[in-house]
Amino acid sequence: MTIKRNTAELKVTPDVHEQGARVTSGHVTFWMNCVGVPMVLVADGELRARSGNAAAAQLFGHDIDDFAGLPLHRLVGREAETLVSRVWNRSINGFPSEPFLLRASIDGAERLLVVRVSRLDVDGELLRLFTFVEAPPTGAVTLAGWQENLLGLLNWMPFGLEIADLDDDIQFANSACLDLFGWTARDLATPEDWWRLAYPDPEYRAYARTRWETEIAAARAEDREMTPFDLDITRKDGTKRTIQFRHRKIGNFHVNMYLDFTRERAYASELKKLAETDELTAALNRRSFFKRASRTLASGGAEGLALLMIDIDRFKRINDRFGHGAGDQVLQLFVQRIGRCLPSSCLLARLGGEEFAVLVDKDNDCAVIAESIRASIAAHPFETAAGFLSVTTSIGVAPLEGAESIESALSRADRALYRAKQSGRNRVLHDKEA
């Protein structure tokens, strides 16, 4: 490999111009000590030095032999170490990153350094080579201060932010990224690690990746911000979060923004649930039932659909004798038993009081389902705070006909239910039998 040096930068390039070219530890040690710029070799993803050259020993006030295993905060201070841990370099092995400013604390004195980092494959192990140069002391100090303040601002932002080069190699990730995802540069050595770890389910991973790549391609082709979208990611600790993804090309950088919408989406889901379901039993409410049932009818026609009207026999006696608390428990347990009898494609709603409706879809036999509900309710008493209560139910069945509306079929099922109760209760009656 060759090492080029001037007063502003160090460039390390492998003799073989391809990603993954390797060098030996002997080569690295030799060339580091031939260069007058402070250099420290660090294991990729770690915060401990492997070695340093003579210039680094002079800058940081340590003997060369002291660098092995030395924590970076012992060299540059805690705050500077934290910043270093958030600057990820995904560049091709042997080529330095963009420079960044580091306000270091060296022997108790504050020093402003310009830092560049190169990735090297040394004897088959991936290492990072840090180069430290004193920040320009004259006119560039003001600009350096702005850059330093900007990095501080980005780390303060309450959303995840990544800055990548035009090849999508991440150059900087702010502190919120670690808070959001839990993954560090050490965990995510390659982009494939991100997809594998953040989306452990292969099917959802394929969906997430396709969505990301499709949206980014469209945004870059039209030179615009990517249309924001949500994905559910898995954090390092195994918890799930709903993240809104944003992306934009700005100058020579690609900027990714991550907003945690987990709480907002949970609230929205809960509000939707409250708007569509009965608060006591969690069955659909009347409005939602008619809306969904009408949508099902419009999409596939009436053929094969049927409606059940279901009523708890002598429910008023339960309330009068045991109280409304026991009555509420019966309603809740009643819905649970009905639910166990229904295929997932059927709709169950509480229309009011002790009256319930079921829309049976085309693939199920309404008479069989109605009888299974009746038998299940009558089979075992309901365990309530007032004791075990025997409950029965009456059911009216009405298949939809032709261009009939949901309301019309439900009215026929209700008439069949009324006759079932008149004829002795605890029975199923078809509207044609009524």
Q: pLDDT, tens digit, for every residue of 238-289? A: 999 999 999 998 888 889 999 998 888 888 877 877 788 898 999 999 999 9
Q: Alpha helix (H) ranges present in 125-201?
A: 140-156, 175-181, 191-198
pLDDT at 1: 37
Q: What is the mean pLDDT of the chain?
A: 84
Which of 192, 203, 354, 401 is labelled catalytic?
Answer: 354
More reliable by pLDDT, 57 or 82: 57
Q: What is the pTM of this model?
A: 0.49
pLDDT at 399: 93
Contact assessment for residue 85 and residue 172, using Cβ atoms and an 8 Å cutoff: no
Residue with tokens 């070799």: 41
Residue with tokens 């608390």: 325
Average pLDDT over residues 70-96: 76
Average pLDDT over residues 292-305: 87
Burial code (b: 16+ CB inside 10 Å, e: under 16) for 291-305 equals: ebbeebbeeeebeeb
How far is it, in rounded angstroms, from Cα 255 to Cα 152?
17
CATH fold of 2-156: Beta-Lactamase (3.30.450)
How far is it, in rounded angstroms, from Cα 38 to Cα 34?
11
pLDDT at 371: 96
Residue 13 has pLDDT above 50, yes or no: no
Q: Residue 160 has which token pair?
A: 């995840």
How far does the chain reach from its first CA to its final CA, in angstroms? 94
pLDDT at 19: 43
Q: Which of 124-128, 312-316, 358-362 has the lowest mean pLDDT?
A: 124-128
List the one residue out of 180, 275, 281, 274 whose CA is nearest residue 233: 180
Average pLDDT over residues 383-390: 93
| Residue 122, amino acid | V
Backbone angles phi, psi at 122, to 5 degrees: -110, 110
Backbone angles phi, psi at 117, to 5 degrees: -130, 135
Q: What residues does each domain of the chain span?
A: 2-156, 178-250+258-265, 277-430
Helix (H, G, I), strand (E, B) or coil at 124: coil
Q: Residue 86 has which token pair?
A: 């958030």
List the one residue out of 424, 403, 401 whose CA is nearest residue 413: 401
How far is it, in rounded angstroms, from Cα 75 to Cα 111?
11
Backbone angles phi, psi at 290, to 5 degrees: -65, -35
Helix (H, G, I), strand (E, B) or coil at 143: helix
Alpha carbon separation from 38 to 59, 62, 220 (Å, rounded): 7, 12, 40
Residue 17 has pLDDT above 70, yes or no: no
Residue with tokens 């002795």: 424
CATH 3.40.640.10 for domain 277-430, yes or no, is: no
Q: pLDDT, tens digit, for every residue of 40-74? A: 998 866 788 989 999 999 999 998 888 988 999 99
How far is it, in rounded angstroms, from Cα 78 to Cα 76?
7
Q: pLDDT, tens digit, for every residue of 121-132? A: 888 888 888 989
pLDDT at 430: 93
Average pLDDT over residues 134-141: 60
Active-site annotation holds for 225: no
Q: pLDDT, tens digit, for every residue of 167-219? A: 887 778 888 888 889 887 778 777 888 899 999 999 999 999 999 999 999 99
pLDDT at 80: 86
